[in-house]
Amino acid sequence: MIEKYLKEDGWYKYPNEDGCDYETAESLIQTGVLEFCGCGREEDNLRFVLGGLEIIDEYATGTPFKEWKKKAIEHFGNELSAQFFYYWADKEEYSEHGSCIPGWLTNKGKDLLSDIRLVVNKYMTQDIDHALTTKKAPF
């Protein structure tokens, strides 16, 4: 999905109300798709959302409960933070609530999961590799 927003000049254009172009895929997802501000550490935010979406997906695909619960607590830090994320994902229509949280990912949630995986695995890894070889910060 994310590649369809890439323009010839290398910037990203997302069809939202602000009409902004985004220099990186991280910024496109962080500020265009998720509508978060661009402050702080986008890469950490994206990894946090990625982990949360993966946990919802694992719940829905039948990961044994004790194993799933352990991963959720490791990722979120505690049950209250996990619950808040599940409510947020449901509100934003990245997941479907069903009879209990976390529910399961919607198509919109699956698309976001796929896009963040691509960004983390492709773009962010390249930035980190570049930083290691040039000794310059990637962000």
- The string of pLDDT tens digits covering residues 75-90 is 999 999 999 999 999 9
Whether pLDDT at 64 is above 80: yes
Q: Kindly report whether the global pTM for this prediction surpasses the value 0.75.
A: yes
Reference 85, options 36, 49, 35, 46; nearest CA is 49
Residue written as token pair 């990637």: 138
Q: What is the mean pLDDT of the segment spanning 119-134?
A: 60
- Looking only at Cα atoms, what is the longest distance across the chain? 51
Cα 22 to Cα 25, 28, 42: the distances in Å are 7, 5, 13
